[in-house]
Amino acid sequence: MFRPAQKLSPAGVAGMMKQFLRCKTGSIMPIMMMITIPLLLAVGFSVDYTSAVTTRSNMQNALDAAIISITTLPTTTSKGDRQTALQQAYAANSGLGTATLTGVNVDADGTATFSATASYPMPTNFMQIARINTVDVGVGSSVRKTPALVQSTFKVTKVSGWWNKTMTLYGTKFGETTPKPLMTITYTYNGYGDPKGYGTTTVSTINGSTSTVVQQQACTTKTVGNFNNLAAGTITQTDSNGKKYATTCADTFYPANGSGAVIDVSQMDQLYLQMDVPSGNPKVLKSNDPSTSNRLYIGDSKANMPEVPTGQVVDIFSAVPCGQAGYQAWEDGGNPVPADVSNADFFYTTTGKCDFNQRQSETVLTQ
């Protein structure tokens, strides 16, 4: 009767080798020993080496994911809490062994660097024949996080048109899925009948259910016989019948020394702008909607404000410049696009403040 072949374990292979070496029958034994032992060791070492390479690759992926995850924690987080979070994230990504946070540094300008290592004594299989029971596998990872937008200030410069409209800044906090309004800029046409049309614009910050007015721009239009001796900054228009209009706009800030709507976006993972134009077509324009974002203009001066290319999603975090004024405008739907920025109706400036930001997208692996 034949018995089915049995698969030998590494321990079984080692036992057979010991029995083979003790055997003294036959003159071929020394030659076979010299041939078989190196062959078995080579095959076994190759299997264990392949296993070590795979283990190391998996550990590296887990450590990379873990170190990126802890960069989203606030700067006030202690190193001990970061270490705990690192190990938890490392294990959650199927990392073997222990992950250790080796460095955390945040510069004055908000640039941050993080480094970590992970080690694991990987058990061997065939290498145990040579009394090598484990192989130490180690990996390292480091990241650099650049400063990003944490605050933005919006200030209206000029709004026109016969259509009432409202621009809203929406933000989604870390760990949340529902965007909430952070600021509104509402325009109401004064109905005077001039070609371009002007009215009153109100800028408000929003904190939960509380809305606070921070800027109001009131524009007054009248007809004039000529444009002589008008005050500086007066907007002049002439309609198709030759009728002349003069418009003056006055800004009021709350408080009086205010600079507009100052919005804290340090806790925001996502931002987008939305323009609601009830009489327009389309009625809703969004910076994160590639079908309507081309009605937004973004530039570094009044003279350089190109239109967003059709089909592009705008990242507000990068659209707002750090430490200097950026210029933006909307075409509210009264004119087809593409079109020159002179056709736009909704002009404002936005200035950003950048520092350490918890957004994961600002993180780059450096090792």
DSSP per-residue string spanning 232-284 = TT-EEEE-TT--EEEEEEEEEESSTT--SEEEE-TTEEEEEEEEE-TTSSSSE
Tokens of 67: 């170190």
- The CA distance from 217 to 201, in Å, is 5
Note whether residue 200 is domain-resident.
yes
Q: What pLDDT is recorded for position 363?
A: 77
Q: Which residue has the higher pLDDT, 22 or 51?
A: 51
What mean pLDDT do residues 238-251 have? 95
What mean pLDDT do residues 32-51 have? 67
Note whether residue 367 is domain-resident.
no
CB distance 293 to 323 below 8 Å = no
231 and 285 belong to one structural domain: yes
141 and 162 belong to one structural domain: no
Q: What is the mean pLDDT of the chain?
A: 88
- The CA distance from 137 to 59, in Å, is 9
Q: How many domains does the chain fold into?
A: 2
For residue 49, give the 3-state DSSP assignment.
helix
Q: What pLDDT is recorded for position 5?
A: 47
What domain range is 58 assigned to?
10-145
End-to-end CA distance of the chain: 61
* Residue with the two structure tokens 């324009």: 285
201 and 154 belong to one structural domain: yes
273 and 323 belong to one structural domain: yes
Q: How confident is the model at residue 96 (pLDDT cuts 50, 70, 90)?
A: very high
Q: What pLDDT is recorded for position 8?
A: 52
DSSP codes of every residue in 340-364: -GGG--EEEEEEEEEE----GGGEE
What mean pLDDT do residues 52-63 have? 93
What mean pLDDT do residues 138-161 have? 94
| pLDDT tens, position by position, 205-236 | 999 999 999 999 999 999 999 999 999 999 99
Strand order from edge to edge, sheet including 134-145: 98-106, 112-123, 134-145, 363-365
Note whether residue 341 is domain-resident.
yes
Note whether residue 5 is domain-resident.
no
CA 53 to centroid of chain Cα atoms: 33
245 and 274 belong to one structural domain: yes
138 and 183 belong to one structural domain: no
What mean pLDDT do residues 160-177 have? 94
Which is it for the CA torsion 10, 13, 18, 19, positive or negative? positive
What mean pLDDT do residues 314-338 have? 91
Whether the per-residue pLDDT at 25 is higher than 60: the answer is: no
The burial class, CB within 10 Å (0-12 / 13-18 / 19+), for 320 is buried
Give the total residue count for the chain: 367
347 and 246 belong to one structural domain: yes
164 and 300 belong to one structural domain: yes
CB distance 64 to 141 below 8 Å = yes
Note whether residue 2 is domain-resident.
no
Share above pLDDT 70 across residues of the chain, in percent, rounded to a whole number: 87
- The CA distance from 357 to 201, in Å, is 32
What mean pLDDT do residues 179-184 have? 98
Note whether residue 78 is domain-resident.
yes
What mean pLDDT do residues 344-358 have? 93
The burial class, CB within 10 Å (0-12 / 13-18 / 19+), for 91 is middle
> pTM for the whole thing?
0.77
Whether the per-residue pLDDT at 1 is higher than 50: the answer is: no
Tokens of 323: 């430490």
Whether the per-residue pLDDT at 348 is higher than 90: the answer is: yes
160 and 119 belong to one structural domain: no
Q: Which helix (H) or strand (E) holds 221?
A: strand 210-224
130 and 153 belong to one structural domain: no
Q: How confident is the model at residue 18 (pLDDT cuts 50, 70, 90)?
A: low
Q: Average the pLDDT over each of 13-22, 82-91, 328-337, 352-361 and give the range with the smallest value.
A: 13-22
Residue ranges of E strands in 85-164 = 98-106, 112-123, 134-145, 148-159
Share above pLDDT 90 across residues of the chain, in percent, rounded to a whole number: 68
Of 121, 145, 169, the residue at which a domain comes to its end is 145
